[in-house]
Structure formats: C-alpha cells, structure tokens
Amino acid sequence: MASEPVQRGRLSRADLMSLEQYSTGRKEFRARVLEHKRHRSVAIGPNATWAFEDRLTIQYQVQEMLRVERIFEAAGIQDELDAYNPLIPDGSNWKATFLIEFPDPEERKQRLAALKGIEDRCWVQVGDADRVFAIADEDLERENEEKTSSVHFLRFELSAEMVARAKSGGTLQVGIEHPNYNYEVQLSEAQRASLTADLA
C-alpha cells in the first residue's frame, strides 16, 4: 500500500468530518489509518510500545472522540482539537505515545513502581549522532511518588543536522535506558521512511 501523502500543520474544524459523514466513512477511514499506523508503532522490549503520532493518527483520535462523546457543537469540537493538536509533530521533532504493558494487574503495579522515571530515559538516535532523550508529559504530570504511569507522551527534538541525516537515509535507532528496563531497536526501512516523512 502506498504511504499516506504528508499533510503538515495543526488540524482545524474544516479538516474534520461531521458525525454523519464520519459514521458513513468510518470503516474505510479506520482501515486506512490502521495501515498507516502499522509502520509507526515500535515495540521496545517485551513491555513497551511507542506509537509515533502525526496529523492523520491525531485526526483519527479526534474523530473517534467526537463520535464516542457525540460532540457536534463548535466549542466542544475546538476543545478536542486544542487537546490533541499539540501531539502533531512540528517538522523538527517526533512525538509518540508511550505505552507500558503488563497484562496482570498485580505485576503491573509492581513493575510501574520499579520503572519510575522511565519516560525521561527514552531516546532516539540518527546515524552515529548523539542520542536525543525525550521531553516527556508536557501536558500533565503522569508520575507520582509510588509509580510511573502506563501511558506517557514523548517529544524528541532534533537538530537541523539530524533532520538532514535522517532525510538522506541515516539509520534510526530508538531505545530505553533505565536500570530496570534497557532495550534498543533499529527501525525497519518502512518505519524509517514513515518517520522521516514527519520532518520538514
């Protein structure tokens, strides 16, 4: 399947389908988004996944929220856009939703306590440039004194040189460097191409 044409910038109400339009086109739109997301989801070790966001993935999240909450008034739609628009990359960064997954509730509680601070130990690397560590959870604090959260939002700011290297075919590596969770992954060519499309 061909990759999605890249659209930049924040979403406005004009970019969204009405509830009626979305109800009619949801199945097709959802299939398109899920195919697009396939190359933007990265498993890092057995219990961590980063889902790299872009304009299309965020449009899908907004449309789903409007559908579930039955929001059709302009002010309510704008509230959702204001909440989700900051998750769209700006051309010099990558933004990702970070999920920590332990199916068993008791194990999850123990492991999240052992993984405090993990959100600040997430990194990306372009070629042999220095690792860039995440700026985590800018919207609200997700960690407390006992444990970290199972969901975080990450932003990775790249220098102009890193952007140029990525766009000229440099390898991309991602990882987590925490005393209780230490893994790294080299992205596939399909993943690399999808993420490079986020960069201006």
What is the pTM (predicted TM-score) of this model? 0.88
């407390």: which residue's tokens?
Answer: 144
Encoding tokens for residue 52?
């790299």
N-term to C-term CA, the chain: 23
Classify residue 156: in a domain, yes or no: yes
pLDDT tens figures, 59-103: 999 999 999 999 999 999 999 999 899 899 999 999 999 999 999
Q: How far is CA 189 from CA 46, 118, 176, in A?
A: 21, 27, 21
Task: Return the beta strands (E) in 110-200 as ranges.
Answer: 122-126, 132-133, 135-136, 151-157, 172-178, 181-186
Classify residue 42: in a domain, yes or no: yes
Classify residue 9: in a domain, yes or no: no
Classify residue 4: in a domain, yes or no: no
The number of distinct structural domains making up the chain is: 1
Classify residue 2: in a domain, yes or no: no
Classify residue 88: in a domain, yes or no: yes
Cβ atoms of 68 and 172 closer than 8 Å: no
Identify the domain containing residue 38 by its residue range: 16-196
Name the nearest CA neighbour of 7 among 72, 63, 89.
89
Classify residue 3: in a domain, yes or no: no
> Residue 153: its pLDDT value, please?
94
pLDDT tens figures, 102-149: 999 999 999 999 999 999 999 999 999 999 999 998 766 666 678 888
In angstroms, rounded to a whole number, what is the distance separating the alpha carbons of residues 29 and 17?
Answer: 11
Classify residue 1: in a domain, yes or no: no
> Residue 140: its pLDDT value, please?
61
Strand partners, 100: 48
Mean pLDDT over 155-178 rounds to 94
Q: Is residue 200 predicted with pLDDT exceeding 90?
A: no
